[in-house]
């Protein structure tokens, strides 16, 4: 399955200062998507852009991201289809691991811009099953992600980049299911 390239645009909420490492974070996430994610999710590619047509990536205060207007309580970030089906990403500007949450939401948006794509009866949320598994890329924390075979019952592994889960459809420690058929997991 070929995934079209997407353009992303950082939008920092009023009253916040963009983290000084943001350009390094953007490069690391682009490298992760273009080299690691693309090996398993064909065609995955992002570019960071200032174009108003690019997918908005909102960097918000933790209070705002946890509000019902954005992502809800206990969320580090989220993505959804906004007006006209256009993807939107929101991430909390937490002092630790905001880059991991940003990586998580970018990967899921690349794979499923609508937030509603199904693969074998499960939502195509590629980071949620391994949500608390992170690794460093170029010194920046990024999110683990599952491969397409994770969605296919009985398939052979490996199932995710860090090998955090050992069976298809199995959620790793700290992960959570986003399944249309949770009982099958």
pLDDT tens-digit map of 12-38: 876 776 667 788 999 999 999 999 999
Q: What is the pLDDT of residue 2?
A: 53
Is 182 a residue whose pLDDT tops 60? no
pLDDT in tens, 127-176: 999 999 999 999 999 999 999 999 999 999 999 999 999 999 999 999 98
CA 91 to CA 70: how far, in whole Å?
9
- pTM for the model stands at 0.90
Specify whether the CB–CB gap between 101 and 58 falls below 8 A: no
Residue 47 has pLDDT above 80, yes or no: yes
User: Quick check: 102 pLDDT over 50?
Assistant: yes
Q: Is residue 170 part of a domain?
A: yes
- 5-30 b/e with 16+ CB inside 10 Å = b? ebebbbeeeeeeeeeeebeebbebbb
DSSP conformation letters of 5-66: -EEEEEEEPTT----TTHHHHHHHHHHIIIIIIHHHSTT--EEE---TTSEEEEEE-HHHHT
State the pLDDT at residue 149.
95
d(CA 149, CA 107): 16
Examine residue 13 and state whether it is found in any structural domain, yes or no.
yes
Q: Per the domain annotation, does 95 fall within a domain?
A: yes
Establish if 91 belongs to a structural domain.
Answer: yes
In a domain, 109, yes or no: yes
In a domain, 34, yes or no: yes
Q: Using alpha carbons, select from 143, 24, 22, 32 the residue that is nearest to residue 93.
A: 22
Count of domains observed in the chain: 1
pLDDT score for 59 = 85
Q: What is the pLDDT of residues 65-86, one digit of tens each?
A: 878 778 877 778 888 888 888 8
In a domain, 22, yes or no: yes
Nearest to 32 by CA among 105, 96, 112: 105
Residue 1 domain flag: no
Is the per-residue pLDDT at 113 higher than 50? yes
Structural domain of residue 145, as residue ranges? 6-184
């Amino acid at each position: 399955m070929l995934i079209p390239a997407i353009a992303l645009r950082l939008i920092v909420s009023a009253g916040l200062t963009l983290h000084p490492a943001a350009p390094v974070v953007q490069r690391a996430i682009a490298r992760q998507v273009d080299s690691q994610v693309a090996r398993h999710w064909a065609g995955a590619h992002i570019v960071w852009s200032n174009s108003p047509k690019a997918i908005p990536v909102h960097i918000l205060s933790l209070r705002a991201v946890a509000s019902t207007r954005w992502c809800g309580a206990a969320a580090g970030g989220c993505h959804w289809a906004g007006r006209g089906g256009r993807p939107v990403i929101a991430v909390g500007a937490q002092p630790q691991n905001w880059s991991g949450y940003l990586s998580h939401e970018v990967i899921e948006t690349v794979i499923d811009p609508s937030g509603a794509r199904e693969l074998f009866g499960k939502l195509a949320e590629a980071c949620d099953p391994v949500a608390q598994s992170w690794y460093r890329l170029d010194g920046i924390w990024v999110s683990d992600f599952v491969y397409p075979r994770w969605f296919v019952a009985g398939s052979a592994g490996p199932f995710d980049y860090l090998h955090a889960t050992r069976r298809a459809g199995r959620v790793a420690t700290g992960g959570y299911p986003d399944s249309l058929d949770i009982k099958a997991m």
